[in-house]
Amino acid sequence: MKTVISLDDLTSARTALTGTVGLVPTMGYLHEGHLSLIRLAKVECESVVVSIFVNPTQFGANEDLSKYPRDLERDLRLIEPLGVDLVWIPTPGIMYPTGYQTWVEVDAITHPLEGSVRPTHFKGVATIVAKLFNAVQPHKAYFGQKDGQQAAVIRQMTRDLNFPVDVVVCPTVREVDGLAMSSRNKYLEGADRKAATVLFHALSAAKTAYEGGERKADVLRGKMKEVLASEPRAMVQYVSCADYDSLEELDLIQGKTLLSMAVILGKTRLIDNFVLG
């Protein structure tokens, strides 16, 4: 496993890779969700590149970038046995050198849900993913369904900008009690950790209604809100039942649908989603 930092070293190492190249972009502090992306990339691609970069531009002014969990040694230890060919760990100065001024902005689908609470977030995500695609030139790139809107934004950007990259979205990996794995779960303590399963239960209640034949989006939103309201520690930011691709809120469910929510528990903000249909 080769580890590089500079863009020149990345370019030389990338040139030496053969066959289909799969990229797994990460911000580090890896968990089983990331490892599942790497394992799938290993199955589907001849060469696998993992990037580790805590992207400052996707953090809002009120979000503490300096507190984002980091442990590079542990990350490399977790990746090593998976047969990754190349790990790129650029610095902020490499990705955004002095005088940097070019941004990728995806329009309508970045406005609702996460975008309504984190208005600059997807500009940072789309820009860094475009830069990673340009630098690594992967044939395939792997993202988790856990960040459902991010996956939709990246699919849209990849189509709109004609990146010759196959975007692969992999299922959310969960703890045994249903909590979706996330690097931010580290901050959940005591009663908040216990209460965090309420997102999974709320999504499950809506899914059960859907499986029982319910197609009114408002009824499914109501089911999710009802379960969330039963947890006094949970402060709900949004609950949504939207079209899977456009993320427009639905009246009636007809095709692939994204149920999603954002909830604050103590000092931790959690998001989760289920895909229906």
Residues with active-site annotation: 34
The whole-angstrom separation of Cα 74 and Cα 69 is 12
Whichever of 36 and 55 has its CB closer to ligand PAF, that residue is 55
Please choose, out of 19-27, 35-43, 164-172, 201-209, the segment that lies near ligand PAF by the rule CB under 6 A: 19-27
**Which residue has tokens 């990146």?**
163
Cβ 98 to ligand PAF shortest distance, Å: 21
What are residue 152's phi and psi, to 5 degrees? -65, -40
3-state secondary structure 48-116: EEEEECCCHHHCCCCCCHHHCCCCHHHHHHHHHHHCCCEEECCCHHHHCCCCCCCCCCCCHHHCCCHHH
Tokens of 8: 């020149």
Q: Which of 75, 147, 231, 272 binds ligand PAF (CB under 6 A)?
A: 147
Q: Does 65 bind ligand PAF (CB under 6 A)?
A: no
Contact in structure between 236 and 265 (CB atoms under 8 Å)? no
Which residues 236-275 are close enough to bind ligand PAF by CB under 6 A?
none
Sign of CA dihedral 206, 209, 213, 216: negative
Q: Which of 36, 55, 127, 145 binds ligand PAF (CB under 6 A)?
A: 55
Whichever of 160 and 226 has its CB closer to ligand PAF, that residue is 160
Q: Does 25 bind ligand PAF (CB under 6 A)?
A: yes
Tokens of 66: 């300096």
Please choose, out of 11-19, 24-32, 208-216, 262-270, the segment that lies near ligand PAF by the rule CB under 6 A: 24-32
The whole-angstrom separation of Cα 129 and Cα 135 is 10
Contact in structure between 233 and 270 (CB atoms under 8 Å)? no
**Which residue has tokens 């930011």?**
237
Q: Which of 14, 17, 23, 26 binds ligand PAF (CB under 6 A)?
A: 26
Q: Does 114 bind ligand PAF (CB under 6 A)?
A: no
Apex 259 CA angle, 254 and 265, nearest 5: 170
Whichever of 95 and 188 has its CB closer to ligand PAF, that residue is 95
Whichever of 133 and 274 has its CB closer to ligand PAF, that residue is 133
Please choose, out of 14-22, 23-31, 210-218, 255-263, the segment that lies near ligand PAF by the rule CB under 6 A: 23-31
Which residues 148-177 are close enough to bind ligand PAF by CB under 6 A?
150
Q: Which of 23, 49, 104, 129 binds ligand PAF (CB under 6 A)?
A: 129
Residues in contact with ligand PAF by CB under 6 A are 25-27, 55, 58, 125, 128-129, 147, 150
